[in-house]
Chains A and B, each alone.
Chain A
Amino acid sequence: MPLTLSIVTAQRTVLERGDVTKLVVPASEGQITLLPSHAALMTALGSGEMLATVPGGVESIAIHGGFLQIVDDQVSVLADAAEHVAAIDLERAEAARARAEARLTGRDPNIVPGGLDVLRAQSALQRSMTRINIVRRRRSPTGVPSSRA
């Protein structure tokens, strides 16, 4: 029996599928793989790519923190932010990355070292890097073709 997967954020349902045969998850303690009949598990999520193997391919979703629960082959992902690879805006991600890097290298005079803004910039940087890496990997000529090519 395949896994039922639903990825939700506070704003929307990102993905809902009932035919996932394998799920690779960026958990907070490292990458884990979930197969059908997995033991009941609750785990925090890190930032990275989630890969759901479905008939005819692999769904790639960028996950930025959150929580995962699996019970009786029902997988609930409560993500802080998540988007399907096809929905990632590469230009926006590049811009966000440049912005975050500018902040962290001290070119922004409003940033106090070690303050909350640094943490925010660091997490923004990580989010943008995750997005960019996933897009590079998935939309390369050999990977999943871009939906907006």
Chain B
Amino acid sequence: MPGGGSVRAIRDRIKSVRSTAKVTRAMELVAASKMRRAQDRALASRPYAERMTAVLSQLAAYTAGGDGGALHPLLEQRAVQKMSYIHITSDRGLAGGLNANMNRAGATLVLRHQPNVSAITVIPVGRKGRDFFARSGMPLAAEFTELGDFPDFEKVRPIAQIVMDDFLSGAVDQVSIGYQRFVNAAVQRPTTRQILPIVPPEAADGAAASSVDFIFEPSPERLLQTLLPRYVEMQVYAAILEARASEQSARMVAMRQATDAANEMVGALTLAYNKARQESITGELLDIVGGVAALEAK
């Protein structure tokens, strides 16, 4: 029977594409619910970030005037000889161009700074970035993988601790961080920014803030000492929360596209299947008709 084989092959293909679509659809739903949770966490951390920034700008206005480094070592601006870059990606793929884009942005930053500094080390957070920089032979100062989809503050603190220790010991003069900023569910933007030395945020209502006559307990310098490390930790934490929300939304979109593509393919294959089946039936009919005609001719 001609064509029977191809009919079966197409039918098997349809089956397999259908089951792929089922898997990608399930992954889309999982990513959608994780995205919501990741977004909620990013939002929940915002009040702390906002108040911290406000307090720091007020405190900075009070203690301003002098050289930052004299006030607190984390504020010290030095000639940049050595720098460190925290590169945040996801551990898992299937997230469209998310990690490739982030890796490209990270590589761009490294290449831009490389001619101007004597050494640049990368601290990858997430397997995709770790693999990328390890392959390219970059020196990795430390690496953090498998932080999970919803890392808590305590898990993130060691990352900030490492770069603060390196900065304070003089091992690096500047630290930047790169992550996928969550713009909305469809758009993520690779973003890099400096986190050390700390550039104190400008007071939103500058004059008004510094005109308040605060009592400081113990002293403004001691308060900076407790606040500044928290500020760095908070920035790293916020970057990771955004990166996680971006990861889930990118995965959700990628999986939706995969599901759509699979369903389209099922449509095309079904058409081909019907055609092939029709052809084989027509062929069989012709055989029968031909056979009957031959019998009648006798």
Tell me whether B237 is interfacial, beta carbon within 8 Å.
Answer: yes
By a CB distance below 8 angstroms, the chain B residues around A44 are 217-218, 222-223, 226
Q: Which residue on B lies nearest to A30, using beta carbons?
A: B217
Tell me, in angstroms, the Cα distance from A71 to B233 when the chains sit together. Answer: 25
Tell me whether A53 is interfacial, beta carbon within 8 Å.
Answer: no
* Pair A12/B223 contact, Cβ less than 8 Å: no
* Pair A76/B51 contact, Cβ less than 8 Å: yes
Tell me whether A39 is interfacial, beta carbon within 8 Å.
Answer: yes
* Pair A42/B45 contact, Cβ less than 8 Å: no
Given contacts A10-B153, A10-B233, whether A78 and B215 have CB atoms under 8 Å apart is no
B240 to chain A, nearest CB (A): 11
Tell me, in angstroms, the Cα distance from A44 to B44 when the chains sit together. Answer: 23
* Pair A41/B214 contact, Cβ less than 8 Å: yes
* Pair A13/B47 contact, Cβ less than 8 Å: yes
Tell me whether B100 is interfacial, beta carbon within 8 Å.
Answer: no
Q: Which residue on A lies nearest to B227, using beta carbons?
A: A67
Interface residues of A in 58-92 (CB under 8 A from B): 65-67, 69, 71, 76, 78, 80
Interface residues of A in 1-22 (CB under 8 A from B): 6, 8-13
Query: Interface size class for chain B?
Result: 20 to 34
* Pair A11/B152 contact, Cβ less than 8 Å: yes
* Pair A76/B217 contact, Cβ less than 8 Å: no
* Pair A8/B222 contact, Cβ less than 8 Å: no
Given contacts A44-B223, A67-B226, whether A28 and B217 have CB atoms under 8 Å apart is yes
Interface residues of B in 211-236 (CB under 8 A from A): 212-218, 220, 222-223, 226-227, 230, 233-234
Given contacts A27-B217, A28-B218, A42-B59, whether A9 and B48 have CB atoms under 8 Å apart is yes
Tell me, in angstroms, the Cα distance from A69 to B47 when the chains sit together. Answer: 14
Tell me whether B269 is interfacial, beta carbon within 8 Å.
Answer: no
* Pair A42/B216 contact, Cβ less than 8 Å: yes
* Pair B214/A10 contact, Cβ less than 8 Å: no
Tell me whether B55 is interfacial, beta carbon within 8 Å.
Answer: yes
By a CB distance below 8 angstroms, the chain B residues around A42 are 55, 58-59, 214-217, 220, 223
* Pair B48/A40 contact, Cβ less than 8 Å: no
* Pair A40/B214 contact, Cβ less than 8 Å: yes
Tell me whether B52 is interfacial, beta carbon within 8 Å.
Answer: yes
Tell me, in angstroms, the Cα distance from A71 to B212 when the chains sit together. Answer: 8
By a CB distance below 8 angstroms, the chain B residues around A29 are 217-218
Q: Which residues of B contact A (CB under 8 A)?
A: 41, 44-45, 47-49, 51-52, 54-55, 58-59, 152-153, 212-218, 220, 222-223, 226-227, 230, 233-234, 237
Beyond A10-B49, A65-B226, 8 extra complex contacts between A and B, CB < 8 Å: A10-B153, A42-B214, A44-B217, A44-B218, A67-B55, A67-B227, A67-B230, A69-B58
In the assembled complex, 6 residue pairs joining A and B whose CB atoms fall closer than 8 Å, in A order, are: A10-B48, A29-B218, A40-B213, A67-B227, A69-B58, A71-B212
